[in-house]
Structure 1
Amino acid sequence: MDELYNTCRACAKDLNSHKYLNAMNKVNIFEAPDIAKKLASCISVELSLADEYPKFLCECCYQKVNDFHQFREMCRESIQHFEELILAKKSLFSEDEVPISILEDQSRSLTRVNELNHLEDSSVKYQDDLEKQTEVDDYNKKYEIENAEYCEQVMSTPNVHGHDENNCDSDVVELNNIRRVKSEKTSLKKLSDCETKIIYRCDICPSRFFVEHRLIAHKREHEGLMPYPCTQERCTKAFNRRSALARHLRQHEGYSFQYACDQGGCDKVYKHKPTLVMHQRKYHKLGPELKTHICEICGKVFKTTTMLNDHHYTHKDKSERPYACDQPKCMRRFSNKDKLKVHLMRHAGIKNYVCPHCGMRKTTMNELKVHINYHTLERTWPCRFCTHICNSSGNLKTHVRTVHERAKDYACRYCERTFAKPDTRKYHEMTHTGEKPNECPECGKRFLQPAALRTHRKIHQRQGVHSSKAKKCEKKTPAQETVLKNAENTEY
């Protein structure tokens, strides 16, 4: 077993030999940044820590994997560059004078553009490619059958005109030429249809689309919204996929999607069948066993390799995270694009999700769900060390970390003090910089923390109440005015 683990996963060389005794000459696949993802894309096989394969690469194979990844990215950039050059060159020719070679290149470039713009719909693209390949295979089979039938017909025809086998071959060649010309005409016609399609361009980023609804959905993502909103009145739901929206619209029409678990003693009901299947696999042990991916550093278990690879960054320095914020004076880095996207939405002040109870706005749907739970208390998270009960899993982690573990992981950038919470550190650092971002709209006084501003505004509210009472006291009732007049008359 030790011999298996001490070999290179790619070339199967023994890493314990005299050539590989140096520890720098072997690389752990799951510890090196992004090497597991690069190797998986290179060999088209999912990698997992739970498998029994070797976990190391030799220095040579490690370099080859990086070279392959760089080569693939270079090819993608070249395709985009050539596509722009070809489209520019196309404008020099009229539609009737475009050479066939350029048309073929444009057809390839259009295909590449379509692939780049529809990567997320990989399942649909795969199905389309499969149908196209099936059509090509059917055409080839039909062509071979017709060709064979034609040869048999020619060979069985009496040699009236003195045709021999060479003449039959020439007839077959002529037939092939006719078919090739027809296929070229068909391809040119398809290309002309493709050229007449309108390309919809995003005015925010370089993305392009052949369908308008894809562009509209894409622009909604720039605004921090779900791409496909419900079109029914008074329905605020939105979805990530168009198929999910279509399913939701069918529910408006009266269709019911209920998938109940048929196992004894289980009353769970789900809206989606895959969720039911996952429930049965997890709790009733039906179907294949769920794969688990374990962190070799801390032992945490994750459902997918993507989640595990994202977790690996928690054990590394923050400077190694691949996605950096491009906003000025912001040094934050993130482990994936989705986290960076949410962070940029916070910079832009985008808060599209509104609480129905208090009107507070949130940036993401998950944040809104956590906030709504403070109103409804549908779920609670009790502490296992004390009687404290939290309203979210994040608050429970913070409670355990700060109260029971007494951890202070957040250090001030200006002094040696450390803090248990990032918000506490943020307000402390403002004492160094002199910032007071919270301003009173009544008197203009500024405060460090929002809580201090709220306390200050209560003073203005009390003053407003007292002033209104004083004004009421100053006003005299008609009866009081009559008594005063009578008193004045008696004096005279």
Structure 2
Amino acid sequence: AYACEQCNRVFLQKGNLKVHQRLHTDERPFPCDFENCEKKFRSNETLRRHKLTHTGEKPFTCVTCNNKFSSKVSLTEHQAIHDNTKNYKCEECGRSFRQISCFKRHQVTHTLATPYICDVCGKSFSQMAYLRSHIRIHSGQCLKPFSCDTCKKAFAHKSDLTRHKIIHTGRLKPYRCTHCNLRFSDRSSCKRHIREHSQARPYVCYKCGEGFKRTGQLKVH
């Protein structure tokens, strides 16, 4: 077995460890050779999947809703929405996730590793993407560089823009409440709604201990 010296994750193959270590160094040795595309990737497999965004090829189809995907991994994660399965379970705390990308981001919270440091103020981050977003504060760049082509609304993160675009496309709302079957276009709205059915009050006042279902209610309190 091969262990990462920075976060202690263990891999069975040395090649997988090498790809993983690029998360810490942000090394991206595989550039896209399509014209006007300057993106680079940590692995050849990630580059291969990226190239499908240029060709438009989506060979994997969901048998439930006929949505098409460029990779089998994306299809598998999408299908979990329909059957409400969460295949990726954290061994540290027991939380489960539908998407491996969310699962990996969550795992970093247990290691407390923040190897990406801002040269300006010294603040450190667990992921390079978070550091890049933070650096825009110092550089004076637009804090919301991702804009919608349809309504021109701007967002700080590309993932927020992707969720927003669902409003314009009219695509099936993939997130369903398990209590009343109401559907939502993004996961966070669905989670907030589900809490209305349950007694969970995750936002707790540190002074009096009272819990609230929404962060807005805690702020008012």
TM-score range, shorter chain: 0.5 to 0.7
Contact between 2:144 and 2:155, CA under 8 Å: does it hold in 1? no
Instruction: Name the counterpart of 2:17.
Output: none
Q: Give the SS at the match of 1:444.
A: coil
- Structure 2: how far apart are the matches of 1:399 and 1:415? 24
Instruction: Name the counterpart of 1:183.
Output: none
Instruction: Name the counterpart of 2:197.
Output: 432
Give the counterpart of 1:397 among 156, 159, 162. Answer: 162
Deviation at 1:401, TM superposition (A): 1.0
Contact between 2:86 and 2:96, CA under 8 Å: does it hold in 1? no
Residue 282 (str. 1) matches residue 44 (str. 2): no
After superposition, residues 318-467 of structure 1 pair within 5 angstroms as 324-327=88-91, 330-335=95-100, 340-346=103-109, 348=110, 350=112, 352=114, 362-373=125-136, 376-377=141-142, 380-402=145-167, 405=170, 407-456=172-221
Contact between 2:58 and 2:68, CA under 8 Å: does it hold in 1? yes
**Superimposed CA distance per residue, residues 222-271 of structure 1 (whole angstroms, 9 cap, x where no aligned partner):** 38xx969xxxxxxxxx626xxx7xxxxxxxxxxxxxxxxxxxxxxxxxxx
The amino acid that maps onto 1:429 is: I
Q: Structure 1's 447 and 315: CA in aligned 2 closer, same or farther, altered over 3 A? A: closer
- Structure 2: how far apart are the matches of 1:359 and 1:434? 40
Deviation at 1:357, TM superposition (A): 8.4
Deviation at 1:448, TM superposition (A): 1.9
Q: Structure 1's 416 and 387: CA in aligned 2 closer, same or farther, altered over 3 A? A: same
The amino acid that maps onto 2:220 is: T
Q: Structure 1's 313 and 367: CA in aligned 2 closer, same or farther, altered over 3 A? A: farther
Q: Give the SS at the match of 2:150.
A: coil
Deviation at 1:333, TM superposition (A): 4.1
Deviation at 1:322, TM superposition (A): 10
Q: Structure 1's 416 and 351: CA in aligned 2 closer, same or farther, altered over 3 A? A: farther
- Higher strand proportion (structure 1 or 2): 2
Contact between 1:402 and 1:408, CA under 8 Å: does it hold in 2? no
Contact between 2:146 and 2:157, CA under 8 Å: does it hold in 1? yes
With normalisation by structure 2, the TM-score equals 0.59
After superposition, residues 25-40 of structure 1 pair within 5 angstroms as none
Deviation at 1:398, TM superposition (A): 1.3
The amino acid that maps onto 1:389 is: A
Contact between 1:325 and 1:344, CA under 8 Å: does it hold in 2? no
Q: Structure 1's 323 and 406: CA in aligned 2 closer, same or farther, altered over 3 A? A: closer
Contact between 2:7 and 2:113, CA under 8 Å: does it hold in 1? no
Aligned length: 184
Give the counterpart of 1:313 among 76, 87, 90. Answer: 76
Q: Structure 1's 420 and 428: CA in aligned 2 closer, same or farther, altered over 3 A? A: same
With normalisation by structure 1, the TM-score equals 0.30
Contact between 1:383 and 1:389, CA under 8 Å: does it hold in 2? yes
What 5-or-longer segments of structure 2 have no aligned partner? 10-19, 37-46, 62-66
Q: Structure 1's 392 and 283: CA in aligned 2 closer, same or farther, altered over 3 A? A: same
**Superimposed CA distance per residue, residues 192-221 of structure 1 (whole angstroms, 9 cap, x where no aligned partner):** xxxxxxxxxxxxxxx5xxxxxxxxxx2422
The amino acid that maps onto 1:310 is: V
Contact between 2:80 and 2:98, CA under 8 Å: does it hold in 1? no
Contact between 1:380 and 1:391, CA under 8 Å: does it hold in 2? yes
Contact between 1:295 and 1:312, CA under 8 Å: does it hold in 2? no
Structure number with greater Rg is 1
Contact between 1:436 and 1:448, CA under 8 Å: does it hold in 2? yes
- Percentage of pairs with the same residue: 19
- Structure 2: how far apart are the matches of 1:407 and 1:386? 20
Residue 220 (str. 1) matches residue 3 (str. 2): no
**Superimposed CA distance per residue, residues 444-484 of structure 1 (whole angstroms, 9 cap, x where no aligned partner):** 3322222332333xxxxxxxxxxxxxxxxxxxxxxxxxxxx
- Structure 1: how far apart are the matches of 2:154 and 2:184? 23
Instruction: Name the counterpart of 2:12.
Output: none
Deviation at 1:325, TM superposition (A): 0.7
After superposition, residues 38-77 of structure 1 pair within 5 angstroms as none
The amino acid that maps onto 2:213 is: L
